[in-house]
Amino acid sequence: MVGDTISVGSTDTGYLRLIVNDVEEEPLPYLFPAEQPIHAVFDLYGQCTQIKILNDEAQQNIDTRTVLDCEKADLERCEKERDHNRLTLPIASSSEPQLTTPRSPPVSPLRNIKCSYREECEKFRKRILLPDQFFATEDALCYCQNCYKLRIHSDEKEDFLLGWVKFPLCNSTNISADKWHNAYYPTRVGNIRTILERGQPLTKGQTQWGDLVCQKEDDVQVVFYPSLQNCDITGHKIDNKLAHSAFQLLVKPGAYSICRETAEWNTKETGAILLQCLLLKLSINC
More confident residue, 77 or 175: 175
Count how many domains the chain has: 1
Residues 6+ apart with CB under 8 A from 73: none
Measure the CA–CA gap between 76 and 142, rounded to whole angstroms.
38
Asked, for residue 257, whether it belongs to a domain, the answer is yes
Q: Is the pLDDT of residue 237 over 60?
A: yes
Q: What local confidence, expressed as pLDDT, does residue 25 receive? A: 77
Where in the sequence is the domain holding 178, given as residue range(s)?
A: 117-284
Q: What local confidence, expressed as pLDDT, does residue 76 receive? A: 59
Q: What local confidence, expressed as pLDDT, does residue 94 receive? A: 38
Instruction: For the chain, give the percent of residues with pLDDT over 70.
Output: 67
pLDDT tens by residue, 51-87: 887 765 544 554 444 444 544 555 555 555 545 444 3
Rounded mean pLDDT, 24-44 = 72
Helix, strand, or coil here: 229?
A: helix
Asked, for residue 145, whether it belongs to a domain, the answer is yes
Rounded mean pLDDT, 231-257 = 88
Q: What local confidence, expressed as pLDDT, does residue 99 receive? A: 39
Are residues 182 and 108 in contact, defined by beta-carbon separation less than 8 angstroms? Answer: no
More confident residue, 213 or 280: 280
Rounded mean pLDDT, 86-101 = 38
Query: Quick one: which H or E segment has residue 265?
Result: strand 264-267
Asked, for residue 104, whether it belongs to a domain, the answer is no
Q: Is the pLDDT of residue 104 over 70?
A: no
Asked, for residue 168, whether it belongs to a domain, the answer is yes
More confident residue, 52 or 104: 52
Asked, for residue 99, whether it belongs to a domain, the answer is no
Asked, for residue 217, whether it belongs to a domain, the answer is yes
Measure the CA–CA gap between 153 and 149, rounded to whole angstroms.
9
Give the CATH number of the domain where residue 187 resides: 3.90.228
Q: What is the pTM of this model?
A: 0.61
Asked, for residue 182, whether it belongs to a domain, the answer is yes
Asked, for residue 13, whether it belongs to a domain, the answer is no
